[in-house]
Chains A and B, each alone.
Chain A
Amino acid sequence: AQSVTQPDIHITVSEGASLELRCNYSYGATPYLFWYVQSPGQGLQLLLKYFSGDTLVQGIKGFEAEFKRSQSSFNLRKPSVHWSDAAEYFCAVAAINTGNQFYFGTGTSLTVIP
């Protein structure tokens, strides 16, 4: 069955520090992977996606993610965090065989301290 695990419920980083948010997925075929960000009271905004090709994908707001098939991981990174990056981050895998539904992880809450 498809599933996504985000091991870190909450992460705190200092502004300007680097960031890595972990995501592990379980999916029987080629995965379509996504990272979304959600600010309080808001919907989800797409940061980046992986369908195929280059395993390092670039997204908006300076984020990138690397797909590692051998580790079933799709970790999100940012070299220098800004205070405005504080939000909830969700990793998701899309299941083509069931109407393209997204399976989301439980999210990682990011706090940025000055």
Chain B
Amino acid sequence: ETGVTQSPTHLIKTRGQQVTLRCSSQSGHNTVSWYQQALGQGPQFIFQYYREEENGRGNFPPRFSGLQFPNYSSELNVNALELDDSALYLCASRNGGAAINTEAFFGQGTRLTVV
């Protein structure tokens, strides 16, 4: 079990609503990444935060936004929810910023269902 915790574990929202997902990174980790995993697919990179600044973004529209707080926990916000946003959202934390050779630890994810 990793030290990365995500909340809530499950969530049901209506199309057009907004949602906030939360991630507490492992102690000492300053980098948090978010991934979207649709059913039957591999995770897709949304964005990454390093020391409260976004330092990488995948091919997701601006209605996907995030924050990282001074304690390095993070939020993922999605506005104007669409049915295709239904997925498992994974958070990964590590220590290192631009350095890749540090292990990323994943949380168990938040299962978002948009109806």
Residues on A facing B (Cβ under 8 Å): 4, 32, 36, 41-46, 49, 51, 90, 92, 94, 96, 98-107
Contacts and interface: CB of A to CB of B under 8 A. Distances in A.
Nearest to B48: A99
Contact of A100 (B90, B100, B106): B100
17 contacts: A32-B100, A36-B106, A43-B107, A44-B90, A44-B92, A46-B103, A46-B104, A51-B100, A99-B55, A100-B98, A100-B100, A101-B48, A105-B42, A106-B40, A106-B41, A107-B40, A107-B41
B56 interface: yes
Contact of B106 (A45, A105, A106): A45
| Interface class of chain A by DSSP | strand
Q: Give the interface size class of chain B.
A: 20 to 34
Contacts, number: 64
B65 interface: no
Contacts of A36: 106
B108 A104 contact: no
